[in-house]
Amino acid sequence: MTSLSHAIGTVSMPPKWSVGYHQCRYSYDSSEKVLKVVRTFREKGIPCDVVWMDIDYMDGFRCFTFDSIRFPDPKSLVDDLHSIGCKAVWMLDPGIKKEKGFFVFDSGSKNDVWVQKADGSPFVGEVWPGDCVFPDFTSEKARAWWASLVKDFISNGVDGIWNDMNEPAVSKTVTKTMPESNIHRGDADIGGVQNHSYYHNVYGMLMTRSTYKGMEMANAAKRPFVLTRAGFIGSQRYAATWTGDNLSTWEHLHMSLPMILQLGLSGQPLSGPDIGGFGGNATPKLFGRWMGLGALFPFSRGHTETGSIDHEPWSFGEECEEVCRLALLRRYRLLPHIYTLFYHSHTKGIPVAAPVFFADPQDPELRKVETSFLLGPLLVCASTLPNKGAHECAHKLPKGIWLPFDFADSHPDLPLLYLQGGAILPVGLPIKHVGEASLEDDLSLIIALNENGTYLHIF
């Protein structure tokens, strides 16, 4: 993994708040609704650091705009969120509404930054706003233009940016993307002028590169946070990713773990699924189990589609709410460990979440394990099955001593935790958001003795 990271780069060190829990849906459709959701997290004592705005915050789905009725003062909204310890992430898609008088379209046309059809005219495809044009992120000119828009956008109090639909997605086409015959006027050092089939796989990554740059321009002292749906090898230098629009099913819950591990092995350690499932309605048991596992993933975000039932932790009854509270309090106690793992990933290219066979590559049986993972080299997280709680499942562990522990939060819907004998695990206080912690806070040490009754390792 270290050799791979030398070739493709490592994950950018994420801002501390981004390692907390994120709450999203398509869509929280007003400033009042956003504040109500975050205040409910605080009232119920459930940890949360970030709330997300999907496309309904925009004026007619026009990127870089705000709906004047539902989100009349985004800066004031963000100030209110910051006052209760919550950050805000806002979506930006590549599809720009083709409309004279819309400042983004007019500016892009003046600067000649659009992807072209084979005949040299701007390509027009349909996305959320209707007819759209698309920035040609293969060109430095287009990337600089986009970065300048992002820089100005940040002044509204934006903490992070979500680049969605950036495959790029185009509606009412067989391929769901733009024609392969489209022309990109790429920079010479990445291939020059080529058709879309040449650049398709890197389009999303180049968009996030530009978004990341714009956030750096807005405030060089802050670490940018960008989430992307589309990516390529090396995307981790600019953005986190998630596993896309999954479904609220047990199958997709259990698929999420190998997907996260595969992304980590590909150089992208900052990833996670839509907890609870994006499509459809979760059940209380499914949502609680998914939160139990998802609270231990590198990127932890709940999300759901428009028209679904509420998917906040308190939406499924008291038992599920308590499971979610325990799961997220567990994550926040582990944040000193998790953030240290991100530092090692940033400096050495090591995955944050890894397959259990990393602990013993010589054991072929460990390569079959799909319900457990390593959160760092010394900690195994062993999850549940649809019809069994964590304590009822048989878990294959690496050789040696692995001692179970918890935070007095044992519950059938939460994964089991095993610490390797001889290891020391530093944990923090049970906080509700990262802003509650300080560098002066005491840490607790969980120590697992080895066969000699001693301890040797801290990570």
φ/ψ of residue 319, rounded to 5: -65, -45
> How is the beta sheet containing 416-420 ordered, strand by strand?
353-354, 372-375, 379-382, 416-420, 402-405
**Is the bond preceding residue 168 a cis peptide, omega within 30 degrees?**
yes
- For tokens 């705009």, the residue is 65
What is the pairing mode between strands 353-354 and 372-375?
A: antiparallel
> How far is it, in rounded angstroms, from Cα 367 to Cα 136?
42
* Helical axes 284-294 vs 318-333, angle rounded to 10°: 0
Centre a 10 Å sphere on the Cβ of residue 172 and count the other Cβ atoms it contains.
8
> How far is it, in rounded angstroms, from Cα 362 to Cα 27?
47
Task: Please name the residues in contact with 110: beta carbons below 8 A apart, sequence gap of 6 or more.
Answer: none
Residue 167 a catalytic site member: yes
- For tokens 């308590």, the residue is 322
Name which of 360, 453, 68 is nearest 372 in CA terms.
360
DSSP reduced 3-state for 275: strand
DSSP reduced 3-state for 250: helix
> How far is it, in rounded angstroms, from Cα 227 to Cα 163?
6
Surface-to-core class of residue 156, CB atoms within 10 Å of its CB (0-12 exposed, 13-18 middle, 19+ buried) = middle
Q: CA angle 12-298-443, nearest 5°?
A: 95
- The catalytic residue among 29, 73, 99, 245 is 245
Residue 56 a catalytic site member: no
Tokens standing for residue 230: 């589309």
- The catalytic residue among 49, 93, 136, 167 is 167
Residue 164 a catalytic site member: yes
Name which of 140, 113, 142, 136 is nearest 182 in CA terms.
136
Name which of 409, 393, 402 is nearest 425 in CA terms.
402
Instruction: Tally the C-alpha atoms within 13 A of residue 147's C-alpha that lie toward its C-beta.
Output: 20
Contact indicator for 250, 223 with CB cutoff of 8 Å: no
- The catalytic residue among 56, 93, 164, 312 is 164
Query: Residues with catalytic annotation?
Result: 164, 167, 245
